[in-house]
Amino acid sequence: RKEVEQDPGPFNVPEGATVAFNCTYSNSASQSFFWYRQDCRKEPKLLMSVYSSGNEDGRFTAQLNRASQYISLLIRDSKLSDSATYLCVVNRGSGNQFYFGTGTSLTVIP
C-alpha cells in the first residue's frame, strides 16, 4: 500500500464552484501534513500546512482526520488562477522523509 494516496482527477470545475480534494495516508505515526500547489513546469510551492484543529486561509480550508487517516483541502469560489496540480505531502515527524501523493489536477473553467 502506498504511503500517501490521492485521487489524481482531473477535476474540471466552473468558476465560482467549490471543490474538495482528499488524501489518505497509511502510517498512523505521521505527524505533519501539507498541501502543495504545482503549476505546469514549475516547482511545488507550499499552499498550507494542515493542523489537527483544521485551518483556513481565505478561500482555502484544510482538515485533518487522524482517526480515519485522511486530510482534505476545500477550495471555495474557485478562480481560473486556481488551476494547478495539488500535492498532498506527509511527514512522519521531525525527520527528513516526506511522502508525496500522486497529485490532483484541477482545471477551473470560465
Partner 1 sequence: DTEVTQTPKHLVMGMTNKKSLKCEQHMGHRAMYWYKQKAKKPPELMFVYSYEKLSINESVPSRFSPECPNSSLLNLHLHALQPEDSALYLCASSIRDRGSRGANVLTFGAGSRLTVL
Please report, as ranges, the residues that interact with partner 1 according to CB under 8 A.
31-32, 34, 36, 41-46, 49, 51, 87, 89, 91, 94-98, 100-103
Q: Whose Cβ is closer to partner 1: residue 42's or residue 59's?
A: 42
Shortest Å distance, C-beta 77 to partner 1: 26
How many CB atoms sit inside 10 A of residue 87's CB? 23
Shortest Å distance, C-beta 94 to partner 1: 6
Structural Rg of the chain based on CA atoms: 13
Q: Whose Cβ is closer to partner 1: residue 35's or residue 78's?
A: 35
Q: Whose Cβ is closer to partner 1: residue 3's or residue 17's?
A: 3
Q: Any bridge partners for residue 41, and if so which? A: none
Of 110, 107, 90, 99, nearest to 12 by C-alpha is: 107
Contact 8, 103 (CB under 8 A): yes
Shortest Å distance, C-beta 11 to partner 1: 15
Q: Whose Cβ is closer to partner 1: residue 21's or residue 34's?
A: 34
CA angle, residues 52, 55, 61, in degrees to nearest 5: 120
